[in-house]
Amino acid sequence: MEFTITPLSAHTGAEVHGIDLTQPVKDVVQAQLNRAFVDHSVLVFRDQHLTPDQLFKAVGLFGEVFPQHNSRFALRDCPLVHYISNQDFYADGRRYIPGEGYHTDHSNAACPPKATVLHAVSLPDRGGDTQYVNMHLAYDELPQATKRRLDGLKAIHVYQSRHSARKLMELSSESRSKVPDAVAHPIVRTHPESGRKAIYINPIRTEGIVGMPETEALTLLADLLEHATQPQYQYRHQWRPGDLVMWDNRSLLHKANGDYDMSQRRYLYRIMLQGDLPV
Ligand SMILES: [Fe+2]
């Protein structure tokens, strides 16, 4: 191997050493990196300092770029790369903290992104960690009766669930026309590369469960979320300048923290990679 891997927790996350993402890699190394991504669900590359164009090229190692839904966050010179910032505000003047509350990205797409990549450009002195929970492990440790109950159930995902505590930024009419009204995805999905099952829910976008009364569905979804977000399923990433972190949306929920000094700028590039139809 031309790189080494250091696990960051017992079940989720690994640091990759020995790769400069501005340089081409051999096919065999590309295959090993893709395998490591599936095995660890979060890969961390330190000290990368890429331009948006370099980031765009680098993620080609792992797949095709997924067009993100809200074009207001697109970088002008490289529109498939978006930004995450704590310096944006809702129309009513409140500060917008992207990514608060556990979720999986863009699950309202028919084929949601398999991966999200963030690259740290500017960070606060402390805080602003990203937390991940491993939904394979959470599924494995469900009671058998719950697994049987979930078998065959599908959840309805929309851009903004009316049950979500967090409100997303409004879509422009142009963005809205490209986003499906609603899609149904299995609540238990099978990872297309590892074959492992995972709980696939998203409190920000899940509106209900197909064929189930609303109160019953919301209770079930809340119980699953409570189970899956227990500390034993978590890896918490503390950011360093130059970090490039990519994670598997098929295997994890994640959330950002708004627990830092908001006068300090937190700014990262974000790019996503196309995934398959969840089954
Ligand atoms: Fe997210």
Q: What is the pLDDT, as a whole number, of residue 166?
A: 73
Please say whether the beta carbons of 274 and 113 come within 8 A. Answer: yes
Write down the pLDDT at residue 98: 77
Q: Is 65 helix (H, G, I), strand (E, B) or coil?
A: strand
Question: Which residues in the chain land under pLDDT 70?
Answer: none
Task: Say which residues have a Cβ less than 8 Å from residue 116's Cβ, sequence separation at least 6.
Answer: 105, 246, 247, 249, 254, 270, 271, 272, 273
User: Tokens for 96?
Assistant: 């917008």
Q: What is the pLDDT of residues 116-143, one digit of tens each?
A: 999 999 999 999 999 999 999 999 999 9
**How many A from CA of 255 to the centre of ligand 1?**
6
> Measured in angstroms, how far is the CA atom of residue 26 from the centroid of ligand 1?
31
Q: How far is the CA of 116 from the centre of ligand 1 (A)?
A: 8
CA of 99 to the centre of ligand 1 (A): 5
Please tell me the distance from the alpha carbon of residue 13 to that of residue 9, in angstroms, as a whole number: 6
Nearest Cα residue to 245 out of 5, 11, 15: 15
In this prediction, residue 262 carries a pLDDT of 93
Give the per-residue pLDDT at 217.
96
Q: How far is the CA of 105 from the centre of ligand 1 (A)?
A: 5
Q: Ligand 1 centroid to 121 CA: how many Å? A: 17
If 0-12 CB within 10 Å is exposed, 13-18 middle and 19+ buried, where does residue 60 land? exposed
CA dist 267 to 38, 69, 73, 122, Å? 27, 19, 12, 5
Query: Which pLDDT does position 181 carry in this prediction?
Result: 80
User: How many whole angstroms from 118 Cα to the centroid of ligand 1?
Assistant: 10
Query: For residues 139 and 187, what is the distance between their CA atoms, to the nearest angstrom?
Result: 10
- Angstrom distance (rounded) from CA 249 to CA 42: 10
**81-119 pLDDT tens trace:** 999 999 988 888 888 887 889 999 999 999 999 999 999
